[in-house]
Amino acid sequence: MRNLLFLLSLTPVLVLVASAPSSTSAAPPSSTVCGDITKRTAGGVFPAKTVYDCLASVPFNAAVGSRLLKYVNDTLQFHSTLAYLASPPPGYQQPGVDLVAGLSQLQRNIDHGGYVNEYDFEVALHRLLRAGHDDHLRLAGGILSNFAFGSPRAIASVSLDGKELPKVYFTEDLFAYEASDGSSGLSAISTINGRDAIEYLTEFAAVHAVGKLEPHAEWNMLMQSGALDIQGFFEVFYSGATFYPGESITFGLENGTVLKPEDWDAVYYSPGNTGPLETGGDFYNFFVLNHLPASYTEMPEPSSSSTPSAGDSTSSSAAPAPSPTELPNTAYPRTPDVMQPGLSINDQGLLRGYFLNESSLAVLTIPQFVPHGRKPNSFIATVRQFLQRSRRAGLRKVVIDLQQNSGGQPLLALEIFRLFFPFIDPSAASRRRAHPMADALGSTLTPYWQNLTTNSSAYSALLTNEWVVASRLNADTDQNFTSWDDYFYSPASYGRDHFTHSERYDPSNHLFTLEAADITTDNRNSSHPAQPYEAEDIIILTDGLCSSACALFMEMMHHEAGVQTVVVGGRPNPGPMQASGGTRGAAIYEAKRLDRDISIAQYIDRSTRARFPDRQYDFFTTKLTVNLRDQIRFGDDEASPVPLQFQYEAANCRIFYTPRTWYNYTNLWTYASDAIWSDPSLCVATSTDHHPHPPPHRPPYTVETIKPGTSTPADDQPQSNDPSNDIFAGTYPVGNYDLRPCNYTSDCGGGGRYSCREVNVCQNGIVKPLKRCTQYCSSGYDPCGSGKCKSSGLSGLFRPSKGSYDIGYCHTPVWRWCSGKNGHKELYHGQFHEVEKSGLKLAKNYGFDACDHYDEILYCYTLDGRKSGVRFFANGNKEVDTVEDENENGEYVEGFDPPDYNERDDFD
C-alpha cells in the first residue's frame, strides 16, 4: 500500500463530493486542532476529519467575501467562453453554467447570511468556477490552498484482455500481479462505501475532477499514471482533492472481501514558519488575509542539511528517502536514447525519446511543453536530434506520447510542429470576447505601441502584450491588423456576446517569438530540412488529459497535417473518446497580469481610469486565471465559428489499459501502434465511429440557494487585541517584503514565508546576483507561478514512487529588458540615502532597484528604511515622475501593483 506522505506536488484540485457531510453540521473542533496541524512546519499527514474540523472553524467575513466576488466577476469578463458555457452548442459533453449569474447567487447568499464559515464560502466559489470545465479558469488561495485530501489507496482501471470492459483495482495488487506473471491472483474493487464502485467513482470524478471536457478524461484523472508519477504529481483520487471527501472509506472486493474502514487522509503543505496559528481566526488572518499572528516571532532559517523530524512523518519506516534522481519509474524504459539535459522528476522538462528497434518504432514522450530550465531552444534541439537519429537508425514509425500533458508555451508547440512538417504553415487561429474593458485596453496600448520607434526598448517590451494587436496577423487575410478597431469589430457573435476577428502569430516576426518565448527562429528554415516522416507514419497517443498548448499541438498535427490519434483509458464502457479532453483555450491570462495591463493603460492615458473598475480586494490569492482567447479552426464560418472547446473530436482509435500496458509504456506504445497499423480489432468496440458522442442528459450547473433557517449569519469580526477571536487583531501585512535587500533571513520578516536568498536582480542595466527577500515555496506550495520555484536542497517527507518533497524559494525569471539607460544607475547607491527630487515629498531614506521598464515607464521597488515597501515609477529623464497616493505612514506610493517580472505571455 502506498502511504500518503508529503510529496512533490498537487494535481488539479477537486470539488466536494455530493455525498460528503455539510460543513455546517460539523462537530465543534477542539481548541487546539488548528494549532496541532500548523506546528508541523515541514508539513505532514493527518486524518481528513481533523483538518476538516479546523477548516470548518475558520470564521467568514462578508465584506471580504463580497470584495473577492466583485474582483472575480470583473476578471471573468475576460473569459472568452461565457456565452457558450451558459448555452452550450450540441456535442459539448458537460452541463452548461452561467458563471456571472452564479456569482450573483453567491452574493445573494452572503447578503442573507448563508455562510457560517470560510470553508463553506470557498467551496461554493470553487465549485462554481470549476463548473466551467476549463483548465485555464482557476482560483488558488485562501484556506484551501495549503491542504489536500486523498484516499489511503491508489487505484487503476484496466481490462484484463483489452477487449472486455475495464474494472478498477488497487495499484499495489496490479504491481504484484505483473511481478508474479499473473499467478498472484487479482480481485477488482466492487463496492466503495457500500455503493457500486463504478457508480461511486463516476460520481466522484464528475464532481471532483477539474477542467476536463468529458467524463472519460475525468475518469482518467482518478487513476495512477506513470506519466503523472514522473512529473511528481498526484492523481485526484489518491491525494489530489482540495475539498473534504468524508471521514472514512470502505472498499469491497469481487472475491467477497470487505476491508475495514480507513480514514481519508489530509496533507498539510506548510508554507514554513507561520507563527502560532492556534484558532480558526488565526487561520483567517494568515491564509485569507495574508497577515501574521500578533504573537509571531522570527525563527532561524533551517540549514540545508536539516531533515524532517520523526514527528513530522506518519510513516513507520525509518529508512532514508532516496534522492529524486535515484527513483525508478518502471513505466518507462530505464535509459532514454535521446533526452533534454537534466532529466529528473524535479525538472520542469521531461522530454525524451526511445528507440524500439524490434518494432521499428521511435517514441517521443512530451509530458509538457515547458522546457527544462526555461531553455526552449534546447527543447527544440532535442526534438530535432530525436528525428535525425531515428531516421539514421532506420526506424519507420513514430509514436508521440502526450499522456498527462497539461500544456505550456504555445509558441514552443508551434516550433515542434514545424520540425515534423516544415512546409506547413499552421493556422493556430484564436479570438477573444469583445467587451468594454477589453476595448479600453486595446484602444490604448495598440496605438501607443504603433507610435513607438522600433529601436525603443518599449517597442520590444510591449511587442507581445495581449493588447497590442498590430504585431499579429488577421487569420483570414494573413496581413497585420492595421489598428485596434480593425481587430476588435467583427461579425462574430454567440448569444449576447460579440467576438473579435481571429488572430494568429506571425511566423516571420522573429523578434516576437524571441520576446514572447525566448525562442530563436531567425535560421528556422535556412537549411531547408526535409520532412522527416510522412503523416501516415506518425500517431499521437494520449490519455485524454491533453490541455492548452498540447491541444494546440494536437489540432495542428491531426487537422492540418493528417496524423492519426489514439486515446487510452476512460470510463468502463464502449464507444469513442476524445484525444484532447483538457482545455482547448489558446491563452491563459492571470488577474495580476490584467492588473498590470490596466495600470499601464492608465499611465499612458489618464482618461481611461473611468473605464476600469476598482481592482482592490483583501483576499490573498496566489493565482486567478481565465481563458483569454479561444482556439478557432481555420476555415470555420467567420460569423459563427464554434470554439474548439465546444466541438466534439473523437480519437481515431480508443484502447483500454491492460495489466501489461498500464505501467509498462514499452508495451503500451507497441499496443497503440499495432491498433493503428496492423490490428484494428485492438480498438475498443465502436470507438472508431466518428459521429459526435451525444452529450450527457444533465441539467446546467446552478449555485445552491441557501434556504432560510438552515444556517445562521456569521458575526462581524470586531477589532480586538485577542487573536483567538479577531480576524484583524494586531496583524501586519506580509506581502511588502518581496525582493527587499537583505543580509539575513531575519531582515525579511514575513512570518517565515520569506528567506534571504541570492537571486538575479536587474541593477544599473546589469543582471547581478544579489541578496533579496524572496518567498519560500515547494512543489506542493508554489506562490511563485509555474516553474519559478528553485530547490534549496531542503527535503520534506517522502512518498513511495513520488520522491522527496522539495523545499525551495522563488527565483527571478530571465531579465529580458534589464536596462539602466539615461543614467538610471545613479538612482541606486546600494544603501539608503537622503535625496530630494524636484520638490516631491519622498521618504527620507530610500533606494532604487530597477525591475523592468518600457522606455518611459520604469518599474522600481523602493524601500523606506526597514519598514514597508514603497514603489515608484520614473520616466526616461531619470526623474521620479509621478507619485499619486499617500499611505497611512505618510509615504507616497504609486498606482502600480508589484510588477510581474515574467513577461512571457500564454504560459499554462
Q: Which residue has the cell 513511495?
A: 800
* pLDDT tens digits for range 40-91: 655 578 999 999 999 999 999 999 999 999 999 999 999 999 999 999 998 8
The answer as to whether 689 is a domain residue is no
Alpha-carbon distance 470 to 482, whole Å? Answer: 6
The H or E element spanning position 504 is: strand 503-504
Model confidence band, residue 23 (pLDDT cutoffs 50, 70, 90): very low
CB–CB of 687/568 below 8 Å? no
Tell me the C-alpha to C-alpha distance, in Å, between residue 685 and each of 162, 539, 575, 652, 676.
11, 20, 6, 12, 14
The answer as to whether 703 is a domain residue is no
Tell me the C-alpha to C-alpha distance, in Å, between residue 175 and each of 178, 546, 663.
5, 26, 9
If you average pLDDT over residues 165-188, what whole number do you get? Answer: 92
Length of the chain: 908
Q: Which residue has the cell 525579511?
A: 748
838 and 768 housed in the same domain: yes
Q: What string of DSSP letters covers 683-711? A: SPTTTT--SPPPPP--PPB-PPPPPTTSS
Q: What string of DSSP letters covers 594-609? A: HHHHHHHHHHH-GGGG
772 and 886 housed in the same domain: yes
CB atoms under 10 Å from CB of 258, counted, come to 12
* pLDDT tens digits for range 130-145: 999 999 999 999 999 8
Query: 629 pairs with which residues across the strands?
Result: 432, 587
**Angle subtended by helix axes 118-130 and 48-56, to nearest 10:** 110
890-893's contacts with Cβ under 8 Å and 24+ in sequence apart are 891/843, 891/864, 892/840, 892/841, 892/842, 892/843
Model confidence band, residue 242 (pLDDT cutoffs 50, 70, 90): confident
Alpha-carbon distance 557 to 3, whole Å? Answer: 40
Give the largest CA-CA distance in the chain.
Answer: 86
266 grid coordinates: 489530509
Q: What is the CA radius of gyration of the chain?
A: 27
The answer as to whether 7 is a domain residue is yes
If you average pLDDT over residues 728-750, what whole number do you get? Answer: 51
Question: Which is higher by pLDDT, 803 or 603?
Answer: 603
Alpha-carbon distance 12 to 759, whole Å? Answer: 29
Say yes or no to pLDDT of 636 above 90.
Answer: no
536 and 399 housed in the same domain: yes
CB atoms under 10 Å from CB of 423, counted, come to 10
540 and 606 housed in the same domain: no
pLDDT value for 3: 36
Question: Which is higher by pLDDT, 10 or 160?
Answer: 160
181-195, 608-622, 698-712, 828-842 — which is least confidently predicted? 828-842
361-365 and 397-401 strand pairing = parallel
Structural domain for 773, as ranges: 735-893
Alpha-carbon distance 728 to 157, whole Å? Answer: 48
Alpha-carbon distance 526 to 523, whole Å? Answer: 5
656 and 785 housed in the same domain: no
Alpha-carbon distance 129 to 54, whole Å? Answer: 24
Sheet with 195-196, side-by-side order of all strands: 195-196, 189-192, 251-253
The answer as to whether 310 is a domain residue is no
**Phi/psi of residue 307, each to 5°?**
-130, 155
Alpha-carbon distance 76 to 80, whole Å? Answer: 9
pLDDT value for 903: 34
CB–CB of 426/417 below 8 Å? yes
pLDDT value for 734: 37
pLDDT value for 616: 86
pLDDT value for 270: 76
* DSSP type of residue 529: P
Question: Which letter, b or e, does each residue of 673-701 get, where b requires 16 or more Cβ atoms within 10 Å of its Cβ?
Answer: bebbeeeeebbbeebeeeeebebeeeebb
Q: What is the percentage of the chain residues whose pLDDT exceeds 90?
A: 52
If you average pLDDT over residues 726-740, what whole number do you get? Answer: 38
* pLDDT tens digits for range 360-404: 999 999 999 987 666 889 999 999 999 999 999 999 999 999 999
Alpha-carbon distance 32 to 42, whole Å? Answer: 18
280-289, 476-485, 741-750 — which is least confidently predicted? 741-750
pLDDT value for 581: 96
The answer as to whether 643 is a domain residue is no
Task: Give which of 99, 86, 151, 88 is closest to 127, Cα–Cα.
Answer: 99
Q: What single letter denotes the amino acid at residue 532?
A: P
381 and 514 housed in the same domain: no
Model confidence band, residue 753 (pLDDT cutoffs 50, 70, 90): low
Q: Which residue has the cell 480586538?
A: 720
Alpha-carbon distance 158 to 167, whole Å? Answer: 6
The CATH number assigned to the domain holding 416 equals 3.90.226.10
Model confidence band, residue 617 (pLDDT cutoffs 50, 70, 90): confident
pLDDT value for 225: 95
329 grid coordinates: 519509474
The answer as to whether 814 is a domain residue is yes
795 grid coordinates: 527535503
539 and 661 housed in the same domain: yes
Question: Which is higher by pLDDT, 295 or 227?
Answer: 227
CB atoms under 10 Å from CB of 167, counted, come to 19
**Phi/psi of residue 608, each to 5°?**
-75, -10
3-state secondary structure 398-455: EEEECCCCCCECHHHHHHHHHHHCCCCCCCCEEEEEECHHHHHHHHHHHHHHHCCCCC
**Phi/psi of residue 396, each to 5°?**
-95, -25
Alpha-carbon distance 181 to 198, whole Å? Answer: 27
530 and 590 housed in the same domain: no
Model confidence band, residue 297 (pLDDT cutoffs 50, 70, 90): low
pLDDT value for 739: 58
pLDDT value for 816: 38
Average pLDDT, the chain: 76
**Angle subtended by helix axes 99-111 and 62-76, to nearest 10:** 170
The answer as to whether 179 is a domain residue is no
CB–CB of 45/37 below 8 Å? no
Say yes or no to pLDDT of 325 above 70.
Answer: no
Q: Which residue has the cell 515542434?
A: 416
458 and 590 housed in the same domain: yes
The H or E element spanning position 4 is: none
CB atoms under 10 Å from CB of 311, counted, come to 10
What is the number of structural domains in the chain?
4
Question: Which letter, b or e, does each residue of 805-842 get, where b requires 16 or more Cβ atoms within 10 Å of its Cβ?
Answer: bbbbbbbbbebbbbbbeeebbebbeeebeeeebeeeeb
Task: Give the HSE-up count for residue 275: Cα atoms under 13 Å, Cβ half-sphere.
Answer: 24
CB atoms under 10 Å from CB of 250, counted, come to 13
The H or E element spanning position 99 is: helix 99-111
The answer as to whether 434 is a domain residue is yes
442 and 356 housed in the same domain: no
* pLDDT tens digits for range 247-262: 999 999 999 999 999 9
Task: Give which of 799, 777, 807, 805 is closest to 314, Cα–Cα.
Answer: 799
Q: Domain ends where: 230, 260, 284?
A: 284
pLDDT value for 523: 72
448 and 546 housed in the same domain: no
Question: Which is higher by pLDDT, 851 or 410?
Answer: 410
Say yes or no to pLDDT of 455 above 60.
Answer: yes
**Phi/psi of residue 24, each to 5°?**
-75, -10
511 and 564 housed in the same domain: no
* pLDDT tens digits for range 475-517: 999 999 999 999 999 999 999 999 999 999 999 999 999 888 8
